[in-house]
Structure 1
């Protein structure tokens, strides 16, 4: 993969990341016109237990919503970073830390938004969603891109050995005054 491809993939990653964060901000930080709101939940797993008590369908819907909200960050953050050769554990740790900080920022900003309620279970589910998306997609994608890069490198070496190397370029010379 050439330098321009890496730059392009980073730019695409940054643009998709910004677009996703704008959608998340719109979904989570807009004021809601409601008659009443539930109390804030600061007890871990209390909301999840309450969701499970509502039945399988409703629990699945609510828990999936929490898992999927920030899950794309598990893929978009490494894409925006643009690193192919990095430790899987370090990448996972950085991505999960960034995802949890973004989720925490959303929860803290919700304290000032009418109709929005702070829920520690949202923080836990959002972070778990980021981690799951990263574990499922990123290692396989990086492995595939590394193989593609190695294959392209071997093809270039074979072309040079066969006498079909890259076309030499002449540097541009400015016009003298």
Structure 2
């Protein structure tokens, strides 16, 4: 039986532990990648106008725009499935899960952008925040509902097999009529 919608059993524990380890490893990589100082001869000014950087990337042409925008979408996209995987909830509202995961991704992206203000060669870009958050949401929508449905089917099948293998019960526990409770 599942308690409060969490996965139960040793397989679920392995999934949660694996998700947590992968989440920490991915966040360590993202911190290294985004917060290392860059040795550049000049630094662009911060982009605080939403969409300005995206329009500039699109003006560069197809290959450069795809590399730049795709990289921003993909940077935090693994959080879209690693956060729910580490949480281990199986029976939750799909919309609630999407909102929680997207909000967590937005906060991680905002934290990175704020930390970049103190790193030489790194500048704040509001479009990175938008694209990173969009990547988290897209990855969540693409992978989590199907994964949860698969795990629910698997747990239902395992539950039916456990019922078939169950030994016959001994019957009802007798009660004492005067007291009204079982011994």
1:27-176 → structure 2 map (5 Å cutoff): 27-160=33-166, 163=167
1:16-31 → structure 2 map (5 Å cutoff): 16-31=22-37
Shift of 1:57: 1.1
Name stretches of at least 5 consecutive residues in structure 2 with no aligned partner. 1-6, 170-183
Alpha-carbon distance between aligned partners in 2 of 1:90 and 1:157, rounded to the nearest angstrom? 32
Residue by residue over 1:60-96, the C-alpha shift from the partner in whole angstroms, topping out at 9 and shown as x without a partner, is 1100000000000000000010001111000000000
Alpha-carbon distance between aligned partners in 2 of 1:93 and 1:67, rounded to the nearest angstrom? 17
Report the TM-score, using the length of structure 2 for normalisation: 0.86
Structure exhibiting the larger radius of gyration computed from Cα positions: 2
Aligned residues: 163
Alpha-carbon distance between aligned partners in 1 of 2:8 and 2:20, rounded to the nearest angstrom? 19
The two structures, once aligned, show a CA RMSD in angstroms of: 1.3
Q: 2:14 pairs with 8, 13, 19, which one?
A: 8
Report the TM-score, using the length of structure 1 for normalisation: 0.89
